[in-house]
Amino acid sequence: MIKVTSLTKSYGIVSAVSDVSFEAASGKVTALLGPNGAGKSTILRILSTIITPDTGSATIDGLDVATDTTDVRRKIGVLPHNTGIYDRLTAIENIRYFGNLQQVKRTELNNRIDKLIHLLDMNEFCDRRVSGFSQGQKMKVALARALIHDPQYILLDEPTNGLDVMATRALRKVIHDIKDAGKCILFSSHVMQEVESLCDHLVILGHGQHRFSGTVKELEEKSGTANLEDAFIMISSEGESSR
Amino acid sequence: MNPFLTVLAKECTDNIRDYRSLFSSLSVALLGPLLIVGLLTFVLDKTLRDFEEPIPFTLMGADYAPNLVAYLRANNTRIDQREAVDDPSTLIKSGEAEIILVIQPNYGERYTEGEQNQVALFFDSSSYSSGRRNLTTLVQLIERYSNTIGMLRLHYGGIQPGLIAPIKTRKIDVSSPADRALMIFSSIPYLLVLVIFTGCFYLAIDATAGEKERGSLEPLLTQPISRFQLVLGKVIAASSFSLLNLTITVISLYFALQLVPFERIGMSLELNLLQLLMIIAVTSPLTLFAASLLTVVSAFSKSYKEAQTYLSFVIIIPTLPLIITQIVGIEPSLGSMFVPSLGQAILTSQIIKGEAISYTHVLLSVGATLSMALLFLLQAIKMYQKEQFVK
């Protein structure tokens, strides 16, 4: 389980996240929703041990992300928002690099690579160098790389960004597969439509603050509208007028 | 596989596939020695020609002064005899002759009477290049002949030659072609320092500033690898390319030097295998120094371009001590061994000259350079640990 408690983080005088708490359970897909600048990426970066919170805490599987960094890093798989893969390496070499850094055993690593190539349908391009890949292909490589050590916790930062319908659909299928394997998935998005088909649990942020936690159904009930987009806008900009 | 080795292998693969950068740093290693050899051959050739080649000139009125002409002929000249013409300058303008010596018909008469004779030298100071030396030498030859005759006359007249020439200077040029060649040899340490720094230049930028810019650093930092191993992998990868560059340079220097005609100046300046290994051994600590220094500077930069700008300045720094010592002229001393690049340069030139090198100096140089490399490495690790490191 991922547990975030009263998390606060500012960059200089700019407050990115203030007093946010939520939980993400295993076997479920949790979406971190919010408009641009709501603090989604900051929370994901804290969870992926890139930055440390000012106050509050975040634990993954009971391990504090700020102090038990190495153990946390073995348990998480991270898809950063701009894929961040190496152009001059082939798709497989990119995946293998992280597999080796995670110290996955050689035979195990080869099996995992085969499995992921099949799962993500990467056969056609897995031996090619990454430069020139389409956005969808790059995303697949980055996702395979994040999953190479079979992590229990998977953090995806705007995974559908820049993907076409086909790629989005493929990604959705993979996320479902991972969920069925009992993993804990936390992804961020600002697109309401994709959330509905994908996630079990919603966390809505606005201006670095927590606005809502619950299921899609609960969100509809709370906002009193069946249109998710309206609900999202309503919830995420709550208190906006009083500012 | 050990995480350190994983990073090392990945960075090396990545850099090898960056053909343009790789070629750009290798070209210095391959072309540098060729440049030195080219210069050496040119200088030797020119010097030898100066020593051996006869002085060519055109002579008009040779019959009027047979003794003078015989003297000139005996002193390494190539004389082109011609009939006297009205205006010799036209021959020079048309390019038929470079220098024309004209002896007047009344030369013999005046000579016998003890009057001063004038011989005319036609030349064009604006057009010829090799002729300047020829002209000077020719004038010197004629003056020497004139002096000898004058002295003899005074002598026969019972007057001491010292009376009219109380002081005579004699120039003794002790430089030899070998010395000029050695001057060029002193540029080899510069070349070695330069190739060490260019060898790791691109990898150091790419592996730190480049990763930051492309956003690949962030996922990398979520991997369970200590910052120490990560940075060490990157620094060692960078320094291996410096070492590769250094080795290629030394080897190509070895072969290139065999093309230089040292034997023509009676000199044997070949580097044997042991000397080559010694040069590589004493300079190799500099590869770690270069790699860690450039990695730190690269870590300060936010983008590839920014790092490239900083590093272009930084790689000038290690050559500064070399230039300063060239001007001031510092002897091998304990103190100079503490300065990275300077110690290596001094030791290298000692090895090339075949001088004995002091083991204390080698130990100091290696120790000082490695300690500084370690300081930079620790600084780089410290920077990787800061969370502001990722944009």
Instruction: Give A86-116 as a DSSP string.
Output: -TTSBHHHHHHHHHHHTT--HHHHHHHHHHH
For residue B390, the chain A residues in CB contact (below 8 A) are 50-51
* pLDDT score of A198: 84
Say if residue B156's pLDDT is above 80.
yes
pLDDT value at position A116? Answer: 93
pLDDT at B352: 82
Q: Tell me which chain B residues have a C-beta less than 8 angstroms from the C-beta of A82.
A: 215
Domains and CATH numbers, chain B: 3-45+179-389 (no CATH), 53-172 (3.40.190)
Domain boundaries, chain A: 2-84+152-236
Residues in chain B within 8 Å Cβ distance of A152: none
Contact between B130 and B123 under an 8 Å Cβ cutoff? The reply is: no
CB-based contact A88 B18, cutoff 8 Å = yes
Residue position matching structure tokens 């391990």: A63
pLDDT reading at B53 higher than 70 = yes
Specify the range with the lowest mean pLDDT, choosing from A72-76, B73-77, B205-209, B382-386. B73-77
- Whether B128 shows a pLDDT value over 70: the answer reads no
Tell which residue, B281, B169, B286, has the closest CA to residue B239.
B286
Share of chain B above pLDDT 90, in %: 30
| Nearest residue in B to A109, CA atom | B1
Taking all residues of chain B, what is their mean pLDDT, rounded to a whole number?
A: 85
Tell me how far CA of residue A186 lies from CA of A33, A48, A137, in angstroms. Answer: 11, 11, 21
Tokens for B177, please give them: 């072609």
Phi, psi of A6 (to 5 degrees): 45, 45
Predicted confidence at residue A171, as pLDDT, reads: 87
Burial of B74 (0-12, 13-18, 19+ CB in 10 A): exposed
pLDDT for residue B41: 80
Higher model confidence: residue A127 or residue B128? Answer: A127
The percentage of chain A sitting over the pLDDT mark of 90, rounded to a whole number, equals 59
Whether A210 shows a pLDDT value over 50: the answer reads: yes
The reply to whether CATH 3.50.50.60 applies to domain A2-84+152-236 is no
CA distance A238 to chain B (A): 30
pLDDT digits (tens, 9 = 90+) for A149-192: 999 999 999 888 878 888 888 888 899 999 999 999 999 988 77
CA distance B1 to chain A (A): 6
With cut-offs at 50, 70 and 90, classify the pLDDT of residue B179: low
Mean confidence (pLDDT) of chain A: 89
Interchain CB contact of B390 with A (< 8 Å):
yes
| Min distance A31 CA to chain B CA atoms (Å) | 20
Residue A56's pLDDT band, with cuts at 50, 70 and 90, is very high
A-contacting residues in B 369-388 (Cβ below 8 Å): 387
Interface test with B, best of A51, A52, A97 (most B CBs within 10 A): A97
Q: How crowded is residue B105: how many other Cβ atoms within 10 Å of its Cβ?
A: 10
Is B225 an interface residue toward A (CB < 8 Å)?
Answer: yes
Closest-CA distance, A52 to chain B, in angstroms, reads: 8
Minimum Cα–Cα distance from A98: chain B residue = B223
Give strand pairing partners of A129: A90
Sheet holding A14-24, edge to edge: A14-24, A2-11, A55-60, A63-64
pLDDT reading at B60 higher than 50 = yes
Among B19-28, B63-72, B82-91, B167-176, which is the least confidently predicted range? Answer: B167-176
pLDDT above 90 (res B49)? no
B266 band by pLDDT with thresholds 50, 70 and 90: low
Q: What's the pLDDT score for residue B173? A: 62
Q: What is the pLDDT of residue A101?
A: 95
Question: How many Å lie between the alpha carbon of B384 and the closest alpha carbon of chain A?
Answer: 11
Helix or strand run (H / E) with residue A214? strand A209-214
ipTM of predicted complex: 0.92
Which residues in chain B have their CB less than 8 angstroms from residue A186's CB? none
One-letter identity of residue B49: R
Question: Which residue type occupies B206?
Answer: D
User: Between these two residues, B30 and B243, which has the higher pLDDT value?
Assistant: B243
**pLDDT recorded at residue B206:** 92
pLDDT at B267: 64
Condensed to tens digits (0 to 9), the pLDDT of residues A82-95 reads: 889 999 999 999 99
pLDDT greater than 70 at residue B177: no
Residue A219 has pLDDT above 60, yes or no: yes
Beta bridge partners of A58: A4
pLDDT tens string B360-369: 999 999 999 9
- Residues of B with Cβ-Cβ distance to A92 under 8 angstroms: none
The answer to whether the CB atoms of A50 and B218 lie below 8 A apart is yes
Give the pLDDT mean for B54-66. Answer: 88
Cβ-Cβ contacts under 8 Å, B220 against chain A: 84, 101
Minimum distance, in Å, between the CA of residue A235 and any CA atom of chain B: 30
Q: Going by DSSP bridges, is the β-strand pair A201-206/A184-189 parallel, antiparallel, or unpaired?
A: unpaired
Cβ contact A16:A208 at 8 Å = yes
Q: Searching chain A, which residue's CA lies closest to the CA of residue B8?
A: A97
- Does the pTM surpass 0.90? The reply is no
Q: Do B3 and A89 touch (CB under 8 A)?
A: no
Is residue A242 very low, low, confident or very high in pLDDT (cuts 50, 70, 90)?
A: very low
Q: Looking up tokens 């890093």, which residue turns up?
A: A73
User: Are A84 and B13 a contacting pair at CB < 8 A?
Assistant: no
Tokens coding A158: 């705007």
